[in-house]
Amino acid sequence: MRNRFDRQLALLDENMIRMGELCELAINRVIKALTGGSVEEARAVIEADDEIDHMEKDIERLCLKLLLQQQPVAKDLRRISAALKMITDMERIGDQTADIADIVIAANMCEVQDVRDITIMADEAGKMVRDSVAAYVEKDLEKARQVMKSDDVVDDLFEKIRGELIAFIAEKQGKDGSEVIDLLMISKYLERIGDHATNIAEWVEFSITGVHKGGEKI
């Protein structure tokens, strides 16, 4: 009985890794679409969001099956409960990459010249997603807490980008204002992705320690 349960938990880990990889790939592809002005790449990101949605449903079904059939307690219960919370955040990450792709398409952006900080921000957010899911699978509390600390890096980059864009608008007296607003929105979506990765890491901490940052305890 326990062997079967362990196999199902291993399958859960595999699915979580796959969903995390899809989220990270979506972040990378949407920034590639932005920097290269590629509408085709942006459309591919929107289409890929469906796969992330399907993964969420598949994992949710597996978790509910485990809860109903195995009736886990203590550590196993926390692990499955955390996975259910984590996939909600990963699904929202998929949505936000699709939102960025929508901006790239709607704004008909040609190749954007200087988005280095946005690219750095995206790289950092993608790493946070990857590391938070890895922390879950590896049961690595320190890695989860490092992800939480990394959120400050993403937040600081957002503030820097926002300040630069506001200064640019003032300097140009409103000229090219719409493109600046689009870049600001993209930066905001990336900041939210960082927040979701932090949420994931907090649920990893809960799965290991039984204590959630919000005060929930099992």
Whether 84 is in a domain gets the answer: yes
Structural domain for 78, as ranges? 2-209
pLDDT for the residue numbered 17: 97
pLDDT for the residue numbered 214: 62
Answer for the pair 27, 126: CB distance below 8 angstroms, yes or no: yes
| pTM of the complete model | 0.92
pLDDT for the residue numbered 216: 57
pLDDT for the residue numbered 86: 98
Whether 46 is in a domain gets the answer: yes
CATH of the domain at 17: 1.20.58.220
pLDDT for the residue numbered 174: 62
pLDDT for the residue numbered 180: 85
202's tokens: 């907090």
pLDDT for the residue numbered 65: 94
> Which of 212, 191, 210, 215 is CA-nearest to residue 201?
212
Instruction: Provide block-wise average pLDDT over 10 residues at a time, the chain (218 residues).
Output: 86 97 97 92 96 97 94 92 98 98 84 77 97 97 98 96 87 73 94 98 96 67
Whether 187 is in a domain gets the answer: yes
pLDDT for the residue numbered 113: 53
Whether 18 is in a domain gets the answer: yes
Answer for the pair 8, 66: CB distance below 8 angstroms, yes or no: yes
| CA-CA-CA-CA dihedral for 148, 154, 156, 161, to nearest 10 | -170
Quote the number of domains for the chain: 1
Whether 215 is in a domain gets the answer: no
Side chain identity, residue 182: D
Distance (Å, rounded) from C-alpha 74 to C-alpha 58? Answer: 24
pLDDT for the residue numbered 119: 94
pLDDT for the residue numbered 107: 85
pLDDT for the residue numbered 217: 56
Write the DSSP symbol of residue 210: S
Distance (Å, rounded) from C-alpha 195 to C-alpha 153? Answer: 11
Whether 131 is in a domain gets the answer: yes
Whether 217 is in a domain gets the answer: no
pLDDT for the residue numbered 37: 86
